[in-house]
Each structure stands twice: as C-alpha cells, then as structure tokens.
C-alpha cells in the first residue's frame, strides 16, 4: 500500500511541477508559483512520513524531464523533499490541526510551514547551481529569493486547499442560495483578478474584498479556492507580461507578483482561521449555556419534588398533635 501511495504522490508532484513550469519567468526552472511544494506538504500531513520517497522521486523526474542534468537533479530533489519534511515536523511540534480552524494553525502554516521550512529547498537548490557553475546562479535576479518565494507561495496557496478537500461536504448540506453565493464569489474573484492584472491601472487590490467576503461567509472553504484563482490568474498575466506587468525590470515584476500572491494567501488563510475560531468559541459558549440551563432546570424540578415530599409529612405531624 505504501508503494501505491508513493507512486501517487510522485505523479501528483510531477503534475504540479509541470503546471508550475508553465509560469517559468526566469530560465532554469525558477517559477513564482511552485504548486508541488504545497502538494508535498499536504501529502506528508495527511499520509505521514511514508510518502517522503515519492516526493523525492517526483521532484527528480520533473527536473530531469525538463532538461536538468542528473548530478544537479539528485541533490535538488533531496532538498525539495527535506523542505516539506521540515515543515511537517515543525507543524507537528506545535500540534497543528489540519482543519485550520484556529488562528494559531494559520500562523503556524504561514511562518513555520512556508517561511521557515522553505529556506531549505532554496538554499540547497541555489547552492547546487553555484557549485555546478550554472549561469542562472550568476544572474542579478537573486535566484535564492525567487526559489524561496515560489516554494512558500505553493505552500500558502495549495496546501490549505488540499487539506480542505480531505473532508468534502455532502451535496445535501448546501442550500441553493449558498451555492449561488459561492459561484458569485469565484466568478467575481476571477473577473476582478483578470481585469486588475490586464490593465495598466494598479487595481489588483480590488481582489481583497472578495477574499474578505469568502473568508467571512465560508471560512477556508471559500477563501482557499478564491486565493488559488486569484494567484493563478495574476501569475499567468505576469508570465505574459501584460497589463500591470508589461513594463519594468523582470526582478521588480517578480517581487510584485510574489507580494500579491503572499498577501492574498495570508489574508484569506488567517482571516478564515480567525473567523472559524470565533465561530467555534461561540458554539462552545452556546453549548455551555444550554448545559447550564438544563442543569438548573433539573435542580428546580428536584427541589420541587423534595418540597412536595416533605409537605405531607408536616401535615401529618400537625394532625397527630
């Protein structure tokens, strides 16, 4: 069974790598959005350490398939495996809940799973490029920063969505009005992100009201798909160098893109976690109030029963006198 899980994870990692390399803005396998890292971390959180070899195999196959030399692909694939493994270890250390229904879980995924752990793959990857004399390591675009940001974005955008899909809702649990609201959210996010990234006006910030709306109404179930849509649409616009990304230095445009993707993911993820935690606290308080009310009701009934039992005995004493 473990072999099948590893094969499946390797295939998913390879597919994510191919999707990520479609948005390759800098020659040499550097992309601003690397979905495979998010897939790898979600697989480790849900399936355990046994799928680590599948991550390394998927990374190695993807790198060699896209023209990288084997002596470079081997250490880079190991780094791509170690980074999500470190992220998984750190998240387990802080009792991370994959439901992402607490603010602390959102903060842990952002700072430990994305920002801290992804320094491993970026450091290993760029070190290999420097030692092998790859021309990419000599560019002015700071490959370490781009490598780290691409992997971190993959964790922030893809991992929450995959963790959400592990517990899908039953079709009957959605009312028609809520389904229509979700469809309006997804369509609105797509349209605003598309218009904002294909015009020269700096209006990409108009995406954020949709992220607020999605997180407020549906928590992670609404914010995760909206963040993915916004990130993919804007990344494709950056790859085509259109609208907002039509002019300017490549590195500047990459940093702008990464800032948007990270800001969108942070906003959607943390706000959704905060609201989910608030709703959970409200439900706990409501259950405690109901329980206390039941206890008081039982106490009152017991008291009345005792009084009704004692009353006849006093009357009998009076008759005896």
State the average pLDDT over residues 26-40. Answer: 75
pTM of structure = 0.81
Q: Taking 60 as the threshold, does the pLDDT of residue 28 lie above it?
A: no
Q: Are 39 and 158 in contact (CB under 8 A)?
A: yes
Region of residue 274 (phi > 0: left; psi between -120 and 50: alpha; otherwise: beta): alpha
CB 265 within 8 Å of CB 217: no
Cα 37 to Cα 34: distance, rounded to the nearest angstrom: 6
| Contact between residue 63 and residue 18 where contact means Cβ atoms under 8 Å apart | no
Q: Which has the higher per-residue pLDDT, 298 or 265?
A: 265
User: What is the reported pLDDT for 51?
Assistant: 94
The helix/strand/coil state of 27 is coil
- For the ranges 54-63, 215-224, 228-237, 259-268, the maximum mean pLDDT occurs at 54-63
Looking at residue 171, what is its pLDDT? Answer: 46
On the question of pLDDT at 167 being above 90, the answer is no
% of the chain surpassing 90 pLDDT: 29
pLDDT reported for residue 283: 81
| Mean pLDDT taken over the chain | 82
Residue 127 C-beta-side C-alpha neighbours within 13 Å:
12
- Please report the pLDDT score of residue 172 as a whole number: 47
More confident residue, 24 or 134: 134
């Amino acid at each position: 069974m473990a072999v099948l899980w590893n094969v499946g994870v390797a295939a998913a990692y390879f597919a994510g790598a191919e999707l990520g390399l479609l948005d390759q803005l800098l020659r040499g396998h550097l992309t601003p959005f690397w979905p495979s890292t998010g897939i790898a971390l979600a697989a480790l959180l849900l399936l355990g350490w046994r799928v680590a070899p599948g991550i390394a195999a998927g990374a190695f196959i993807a790198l060699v398939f896209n023209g990288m030399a084997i002596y470079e692909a081997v250490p880079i694939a190991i780094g791509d495996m170690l980074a999500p493994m470190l992220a998984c270890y750190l998240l387990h250390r802080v009792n991370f809940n994959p439901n992402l229904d607490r603010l602390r879980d959102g903060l842990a995924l952002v700072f430990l799973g994305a920002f801290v752990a992804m320094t491993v793959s970026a450091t290993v990857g760029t070190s290999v490029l420097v030692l092998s004399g790859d021309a990419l390591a000599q560019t002015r675009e700071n490959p370490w920063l781009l490598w780290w940001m691409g992997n971190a974005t993959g964790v922030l955008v893809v991992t929450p969505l995959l963790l959400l899909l592990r517990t899908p809702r039953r079709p009957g649990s959605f009312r028609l009005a809520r389904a229509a609201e979700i469809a309006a959210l997804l369509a609105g996010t797509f349209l605003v992100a598309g218009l904002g990234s294909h015009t020269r006006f700096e209006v990409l910030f108009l995406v954020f009201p949709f992220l607020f709306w999605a997180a407020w109404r549906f928590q992670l179930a609404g914010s995760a798909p909206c963040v993915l849509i916004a990130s993919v649409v804007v990344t494709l616009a950056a790859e085509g160098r259109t609208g907002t990304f039509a002019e300017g230095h490549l590195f500047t445009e990459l940093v702008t893109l990464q800032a948007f993707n990270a800001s969108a993911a942070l906003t959607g993820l943390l706000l959704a976690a905060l609201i989910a935690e608030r709703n959970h606290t409200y439900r706990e308080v409501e259950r405690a109030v109901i329980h206390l009310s039941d206890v008081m009701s039982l106490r009152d009934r017991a008291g009345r029963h005792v009084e009704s039992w004692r009353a006849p005995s006093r009357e009998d004493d009076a008759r005896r006198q």
